[in-house]
Homo-oligomer: A and B are copies of this chain.
């Protein structure tokens, strides 16, 4: 799909072959031409699939050119990083940590066991250590926890020329300097983009070209909201303020993208009744997957047992009209599917910031109407089917189709309302999704079904 011009893409098998045959010089030559992200991916893959052991992984890493090695390190998964840090001499580690972005260093530290953390901090200079500890203190999922404190701030009375000197001196990397932040005793008063500076005369004062209409978030804001805000306003970076409106960091577009991807993955997993697993699929062990999935399966199995008890308690009626049993799976599935359709849309809308609790009545009203439309449609189909295909007569046809109509409407109502209520009471809406709603709706569906049946067919 993508391609890297003038760059090697090394096939895993080729790499393994070269290692086995001790062709390290050849490897070095190829790797030196590769993109750090690809090197990290290659090494991770080789280790995951046990093509190389810890020792070989370290050897492989050490043949990389120093700077490239440090870049690749940032892209590796925590498993590989742990192995390497263990093998690093203090000197090696100090070099890597110096090269790393602050926010990457923090991400790594968050994944590491205590002894490794202290090894890292031991090899970090005092100033950086202070910043790291600050970042670590922000709650998980907060904007503060994903921001970087590396950004360029300028003063209003700087000239463009002086600002450029400052940028050159600080010499940060691309992501973090597209926008510079104008501060007055650390309070954010405006922003100015590199482009605005380039198109202005060297003598121009920053205050004359700065944009005072600034979108910002607070360190305590949810990181997903921060990322959505960045994307809503098409920003390359969004400034993060503390309670006193002082700018303490920025979130850059690349980190915002990662946040949005993670959150979407989490939502999808929760909707499927999985406790989120953080790491990519292949880096999650069978046991971790078992833990993440079994708990919900158990909960849902138990709820489904109640559905079974309901059927059991209507056993006598079922013996009178055994045909009724035939429609139980259809009613359960149709109810469950209708409900999860609604919940999926509402949960996604909440994540994207399109739907808020204040929209409750609008959502419910819309879902009920959609439910009526879908309900009548399905009910008429099933009515015809029971009469002409099953030849079970008008009574049973009426019971089944009436149940379908009611169940679909209720399912849409529950599916639309529950996520918003969850959000309101501070529960994760995604947890309120398909599997749980399915169980609720299943139970309701059967109760409604038997109630209607008993009354319309006068079974006792």
Interface residues of A (CB under 8 A from B): 1-7, 33, 35, 37, 164, 167-168, 171-175, 177-179, 188-189, 193-195, 198-199, 212-218, 221-222, 225-226, 229, 231-234, 236, 245, 253-254, 256-258, 260-261, 264-265, 267-269, 271-274, 277, 280-282, 286-287, 289-290, 293-294, 296-298, 300-301, 303-305, 307-309, 311-312, 315, 318-319, 322-323, 325-330, 332-334, 336-338, 340-341, 343-349, 352, 354-355, 359, 362-363, 366, 369-370, 373-374, 377-378, 381-382, 385, 408, 434-435, 438-439, 442, 446
Count of identical protomers in the assembly: 2
Residues of B within 8 A of A171 (CB): 199
Give A370's nearest chain B residue, CB to CB: B289
Q: Is the CB of A294 within 8 A of B261?
A: no
Tell me whether chain A's interface is mostly helix, strand or loop, or mixed. Answer: helix
In the assembled complex, the Cα of A281 lies from the Cα of B415 at a distance in Å of: 14
In the assembled complex, the Cα of A259 lies from the Cα of B226 at a distance in Å of: 18
Residues of B within 8 A of A193 (CB): 174
Q: Is the CB of A2 within 8 A of B229?
A: yes
Residues of B within 8 A of A329 (CB): 304, 307-308, 311, 328, 332, 442, 446
CB A435 to nearest CB in B, in angstroms, measures 5
In the assembled complex, the Cα of A326 lies from the Cα of B328 at a distance in Å of: 12
Q: Is the CB of A349 within 8 A of B297?
A: no
Of A253, A366, A408, most B-chain CB atoms within 10 Å: A253
Q: Is the CB of A217 within 8 A of B438?
A: no
CB A68 to nearest CB in B, in angstroms, measures 10
Residues of B within 8 A of A340 (CB): 272-273, 434-435
19 sample A-B contacts, Cβ–Cβ < 8 Å, listed by A number: A2-B216, A3-B216, A3-B218, A4-B213, A5-B212, A5-B213, A37-B232, A167-B195, A174-B179, A174-B193, A174-B236, A194-B194, A231-B257, A253-B257, A271-B272, A272-B345, A297-B341, A298-B378, A308-B325
Residues of B within 8 A of A373 (CB): 286-287, 290, 294
Give A2's nearest chain B residue, CB to CB: B229
